[in-house]
Amino acid sequence: MVSGSERVTILNEDAVRRTLSRMAREIVEVNEGTERLILLGIQRRGKELAERIREEIQKSEGVAVAHGSLDITLYRDDLATVGPRPVIGESRLPLSGIDEHAVVIVDDVLYTGRTVRAAMNELMDWGRPSRMHLCVLVDRGGRELPIQPDVVGRKVQVQEHQRVDVLVPELDGRLAVELVTTSPEAA
Amino acid sequence: MSPAASSLGKDLVGLEDLDAGQIRSILDTAEPFKEISERKIKKVPVLRGKTIVNLFMEPSTRTRISFEFAEKRLSADTVNIAASGSSVQKGETLVDTARNLEAMKIDMVVIRHWASGAAGFLADRIPSNVINAGDGSHEHPTQALLDLLTIRDHTGRIEGLKVCIVGDILHSRVARSNIFGLLKLGAEVGVCGPRTLLPAGIGELGVTVFRRVEEAIEWADVLNVLRLQLERMKGGYVPTLREYNRVYGISTRRLEAASGETLVLHPGPMNRGVEIDSDVADGPHSVILKQVTNGVAVRMAILYLLAGGAPEQAEAAKQEGVG
């Protein structure tokens, strides 16, 4: 982490759990059940969040929901300019495919909307879902594309020199959402 | 921060120029590309709008087609040029050919050439990315990388593994690239072949020389069996094909006489009944067709790593989760 940065917890572990549990109920609600539902987490933290939402749905509805992960690196619109080539993660879709299924894209933070654009393009190359929904833990505003989420955990106002970090135990050792403020010279 | 793969620079000329981290980075990057070839729509938009010229001054089927599949599955536009039927036959030099191509605004050149050093020569003279698809008896880096990937797939590691290259080491760019790659990743390397087909001073590269193929098989976890280039017969390096097969041919009998499991690779095209017997090529030890499948993934990874992302444009990879 950059020195000279300040972290404030927006959601602690319990708050993230409660939020994910509500988001799970909302997903079932907007899809009117769990039939032909697929949860697709965007690599890397979206995938871990999708896994938790899946467990919540399984607990409350008593059914196993199909799930997978999506790496959007090869569909990024800035690949020619990002410099060092990003490492490509794994895309794993359910064996049933996604044709005629209701796909819920799960990601940690929604910002410019470019990741979601890439995810939608990638999914269109995989098949033809009957519908797609977008589910994010944090909406921090700042959209550059006309994309809006259907299920949101928390809206956060973000100022200049601030960013939102979603932390998951698998990658960061804990579950939390934090607002990070970096001093201009450190940023 | 999203993790970044090791940079390869502008070109891929040979494994001699890469370090272990860069080689591992290519192999790791190839993993996700394997899956793309299993999809219903085998295409991702990474190289959309890029023009790639496949300049093949020497015959090749497998390598050229493998590169072409890799390029097309990454959405690049491709043009193939062969020595016959091109202005090369009219006496045009390699640099002039390349400069003319550059004038038509291309992004990458994949080159196969009969002259050792041709790929590096070209890489130094044109701004496009250059990928060596085999130059004389110098290097064939993509073949060695797909061999490494196939070995790693089946054994789970390269480090500490004993790999023996059997056959014509003297003229083989595949052997050279394999030796560089394997040693850099920490494998033990052996070579085995007729004295006439082993370069003088090969031991100085840090490889073990086996005179008898039975000893090599007993020692090795992996055999990489090279094609006996039949044009070498005329050069008097080998008395007869029959004799070569009797002394150095990889047969089921020889494999079964050795203790332990031996993995058998061959870069193709095979001379069945010469360097390798049919029952070995088609048998349980062989991973020869896996090599071909992996070849497409490795080449996709190299194209991905080389295209765009020029070092001078490098900036810290963007914050993860920004989208």
Amino acid at A118: A
Task: Count CB-CB contacts under 10 A for residue B316.
Answer: 11
| Residue B2: per-residue pLDDT | 59
Reported as a pLDDT band with limits 50, 70 and 90, residue B6 is confident
Closest-CA residue of A relative to B2 is A86
Whether chain B has a CB inside 8 Å of the CB on A108: the answer is yes
Distance of CA B92 to the CA centre of its chain: 28
Inter-chain contact B308–A79, Cβ cutoff 8 Å? yes
Q: A109-123, B28-42, B75-89, B103-117: which range is least confident on average?
A: B75-89
Whether chain B has a CB inside 8 Å of the CB on A141: the answer is no
The pLDDT tens digits for B174-217 are 999 999 999 999 999 999 999 999 999 888 889 999 999 999 99
Mean pLDDT, residues A138-163 taken together: 96
The CA-atom distances, in angstroms, between A17 and each of A52, A105, A145, B239 are 9, 19, 29, 76
Residue B108 has pLDDT above 80, yes or no: yes
Inter-chain contact A89–B41, Cβ cutoff 8 Å? no
Q: Which domains does chain A have, with CATH numbers?
A: 14-159 (3.40.50.2020)
The CA-atom distances, in angstroms, between A55 and each of A63, A95, A154 are 10, 19, 20
| Among candidates A75, A83, A164 on the partner chain, residue whose Cβ is nearest the Cβ of B45 | A75
Inter-chain contact B318–A78, Cβ cutoff 8 Å? yes
Residue B40 has pLDDT above 60, yes or no: yes
Whether chain A has a CB inside 8 Å of the CB on B38: the answer is no
Whether chain B has a CB inside 8 Å of the CB on A95: the answer is no
Closest-CA residue of A relative to B318 is A82
| Residue B307: per-residue pLDDT | 85
| CA separation for the pair B125, B56 (Å, rounded) | 18
Q: Which three-class secondary structure state does DSSP give residue A13?
A: helix
Q: Which two tokens stand for residue B255?
A: 């494999």
- Give the closest-approach CA distance of A4 to chain B in angstroms: 17
Buried b (16+ CB within 10 A) or exposed e, B190-227: bbbbbeebbbeebeeeebbebeebeebbbbbbbbbbbb
Q: A74-83, B73-82, B149-158: which range is least confident on average?
A: A74-83
Handedness of CA A85, A69, A11, A30 (dihedral sign): positive
Inter-chain contact B39–A126, Cβ cutoff 8 Å? yes
| CA separation for the pair B26, B14 (Å, rounded) | 13
A chain contacts of residue B51, beta-carbon cutoff 8 Å: none
Task: Count CB-CB contacts under 10 A for residue B261.
Answer: 12
Long-range contacts of B17-20 (CB under 8 A, 24+ apart): B18/B184, B19/B184, B20/B184, B20/B185, B20/B186
Mean pLDDT, residues B278-286 taken together: 96
Whether ipTM exceeds 0.85: no
| Among candidates A85, A122, A127 on the partner chain, residue whose Cβ is nearest the Cβ of B5 | A85
Reported as a pLDDT band with limits 50, 70 and 90, residue B232 is low
The CA-atom distances, in angstroms, between B218 and each of A129, B155, B175 are 55, 17, 20
The answer to whether B172 touches B143, Cβ cutoff 8 Å, is no
Handedness of CA B169, B144, B12, B152 (dihedral sign): negative
| Residue A144: per-residue pLDDT | 96
Inter-chain contact B3–A87, Cβ cutoff 8 Å? yes
| Residue B308: per-residue pLDDT | 60
Inter-chain contact B317–A109, Cβ cutoff 8 Å? no
Residue B42 has pLDDT above 50, yes or no: yes
| Residue B104: per-residue pLDDT | 92
Q: What percent of chain A has pLDDT over 70?
A: 96
- Give the closest-approach CA distance of A78 to chain B in angstroms: 10
| Residue B229: per-residue pLDDT | 81
Average pLDDT, chain B: 90
Distance of CA A42 to the CA centre of its chain: 6
More confident residue, A30 or B5: A30
- Give the closest-approach CA distance of B243 to chain A in angstroms: 49
Q: What length does chain B have?
A: 323
| CA separation for the pair A73, A31 (Å, rounded) | 28
| Residue B310: per-residue pLDDT | 42
Whether chain B has a CB inside 8 Å of the CB on A107: the answer is yes
Q: Which two tokens stand for residue B104?
A: 């038509």
Closest-CA residue of B relative to A126 is B41
| Residue B154: per-residue pLDDT | 97
Mean pLDDT, residues A34-46 taken together: 96
Question: DSSP letters along A108-137, please?
Answer: EEESSSHHHHHHHHHHHHH---SEEEEEEE
Q: Which three-class secondary structure state does DSSP give residue B164?
A: strand
Residue B100 has pLDDT above 60, yes or no: yes
Residue A187 has pLDDT above 70, yes or no: no
Amino acid at A38: I
Question: DSSP letters along B67-94, please?
Answer: HHHHHHHTT-EEEEEESTTSGGGGT--H
Instruction: Name the nearest CA neighbour of B17 among B138, B109, B137, B151.
Output: B138
A chain contacts of residue B35, beta-carbon cutoff 8 Å: 90-91
B chain contacts of residue A164, beta-carbon cutoff 8 Å: 321
| CA separation for the pair A93, B123 (Å, rounded) | 40
Amino acid at B207: V
| Residue B204: per-residue pLDDT | 87
Inter-chain contact A88–B32, Cβ cutoff 8 Å? yes
The pLDDT tens digits for A55-109 are 999 999 999 999 999 999 999 988 877 777 888 888 888 888 899 999 999 999 9
Q: Which two tokens stand for residue A131?
A: 């519908």
The pLDDT tens digits for B212-221 are 999 999 999 9
CA dihedral of A51, A52, A53, A59, whole degrees rounded to 10: 110
Residue from B7, B24, B35 whose CB has the most chain A CBs within 10 Å, to mutate: B35
> Helix %, strand %, coil % for chain B, to 5?
40, 15, 40
Find where tokens 């496949």 sit: B54
Residue B1 has pLDDT above 90, yes or no: no
Closest-CA residue of A relative to B315 is A83
